[in-house]
């Protein structure tokens, strides 16, 4: 469809990147690397590729060296991978990057988060053309596998010598769209725990009333976990200041057990997806789980598929000069922002874990939240406006002494 955005160079670069189906499972990152290398060449900047944990999990970094390279650098982080699609539920092919008459660009990754990676590059392109130079070195980082936890990507990379050599002082990473005029800004993340209760009990014939069965114990654990869930639901409902990221979320996600309808099973396994709020003491929380297991009758083993440590939030006060520069810039631009705790997980948690302040920010407002949804789209004007915002934000942090 011919429209006013068709001939915009940055829109064309964005759509080219969106057309690369870097989709799980079994992502082939080579087309992404080829495209990012073409962008590095266009910018006349060097690019390096690292493989921190796996030969098919690359990290690409484009570097713009600063006037004072000894100063801690700025990281502009984004991930190359996208989540699976159910194509039959899309009105446009999910890797077509079709643009309609309203300027909506339909593609998986249009919001999460190929937009932000390309907005960084577009802003850098404009700043370079205008002849700018900055005190701090800027690293534009493209990582794999964020959508499956980043375990072979940023999680491993932050502990490697190659990452330490970047001398990172501050990082930008993804946020989410704001459905109204407010731009969400994320300074922390909850800790993800995937908890398995392996519940053993008396087995036997289903016609009898055995003592200490796995079903009875499961019922006790379920009551306790759902009571805690209800408590957090009420907290959220009764306090308009809270967002979902401020409370602990608990969801039963898997339930396994039983062999036959008339046999009392010796084992039930219940899995809960728990996202622990940043003000909760992890040791006390785990001790509470252990206590419930004993109260239920014992014979319950706790296992964790994922059990993240508490990571210190990025400070959003005068003690963090990068935050001060960010806030001053968005205020000058007249943007309404709301700092909050990210409800899901991003690679920022690994960056914060090694002591580097990180802000999650996707410059999209008045935009429906469609990450991981069917018909994911971003309006061309919103995308282009985001470039203008980064043209102000990047210099603000890269010129700090």
Burial class (CB in 10 A: 0-12, 13-18, 19+), 369: middle
Find the helix or strand (DSSP H, E) in which 394 lies: helix 380-398
Q: Are 45 and 107 in contact (CB under 8 A)?
A: no
State yes or no: is 26 an active-site residue: no
Strand partners, 43: none
- Considering only CA atoms, which of 386, 377, 393 is closest in space to residue 15? 377
Residues in contact with 273: Cβ distance below 8 Å, sequence separation at least 6, in sequence order: 192, 194, 249, 250, 251, 253
Catalytic residue among 145, 146, 147, 173: 146
State yes or no: is 145 an active-site residue: no
> Kind of pairing, strands 73-79 and 138-143?
parallel
Rounded CA gap, 286 and 295, in Å?
Answer: 14
Cα distances from 29 to residues 18, 46, 148, 150, 156, in angstroms, run 13, 19, 15, 14, 18
Catalytic residue among 81, 173, 174, 232: 81
Cα distances from 350 to residues 42, 189, 207, 353, 381, in angstroms, run 30, 10, 52, 5, 32
Residues in contact with 66: Cβ distance below 8 Å, sequence separation at least 6, in sequence order: 73, 133, 134, 135, 136, 137, 138, 398
**Residues assigned a catalytic role:** 81, 146
């Amino acid at each position: 469809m011919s429209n006013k955005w068709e001939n915009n160079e940055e829109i064309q670069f964005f759509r080219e990147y969106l057309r690369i189906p870097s989709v799980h499972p079994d992502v082939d990152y080579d087309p992404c690397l080829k495209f990012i290398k073409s962008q590095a060449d266009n910018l006349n900047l060097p690019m390096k590729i690292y493989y921190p944990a796996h030969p098919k999990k690359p990290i690409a970094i484009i570097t713009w060296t600063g006037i004072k390279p000894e100063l801690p650098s700025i990281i502009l982080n984004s991930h190359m991978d996208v989540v699976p699609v159910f194509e039959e539920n899309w009105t446009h092919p999910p890797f077509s990057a079709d643009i309609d008459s309203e300027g909506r660009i339909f593609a998986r990754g249009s919001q999460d988060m190929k937009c932000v990676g390309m907005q960084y590059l577009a802003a850098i392109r404009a700043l370079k053309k205008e002849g700018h130079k900055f005190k701090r070195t800027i690293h534009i980082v493209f990582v794999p596998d964020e959508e499956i936890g980043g375990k072979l990507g940023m999680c491993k990379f932050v502990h490697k010598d190659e990452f330490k050599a970047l001398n990172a002082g501050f990082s930008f990473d993804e946020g989410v769209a704001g459905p109204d005029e407010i731009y969400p800004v994320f300074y922390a993340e909850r800790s993800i725990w995937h908890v398995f209760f392996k519940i053993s009990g008396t087995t036997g014939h289903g016609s009898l009333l055995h003592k200490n069965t796995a079903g009875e114990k499961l019922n006790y654990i379920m009551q306790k976990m759902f009571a805690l869930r209800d408590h957090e639901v009420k907290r959220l409902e009764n306090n308009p200041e809270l967002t979902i990221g401020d409370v602990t979320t608990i969801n039963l996600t898997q339930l396994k057990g039983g062999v036959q309808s008339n046999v009392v099973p010796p084992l039930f396994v219940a899995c809960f997806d728990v996202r622990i709020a940043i003000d909760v003491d992890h040791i006390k929380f785990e001790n509470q789980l252990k206590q419930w297991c004993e109260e239920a009758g014992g014979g319950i083993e706790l296992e964790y598929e994922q059990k993240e440590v508490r990571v210190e939030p990025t400070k959003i006060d005068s003690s963090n000069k990068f935050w001060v520069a960010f806030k001053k810039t968005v205020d000058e631009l007249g943007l309404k922002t709301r700092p909050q705790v990210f409800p899901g997980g991003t690679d920022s948690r690994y960056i914060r874990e090694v002591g580097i302040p990180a802000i999650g920010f996707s410059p999209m407002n008045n935009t429906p939240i469609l990450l991981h949804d069917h018909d994911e789209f971003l309006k061309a004007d919103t995308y282009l406006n985001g470039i203008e915002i980064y043209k102000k934000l990047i210099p603000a942090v890269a010129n700090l002494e």
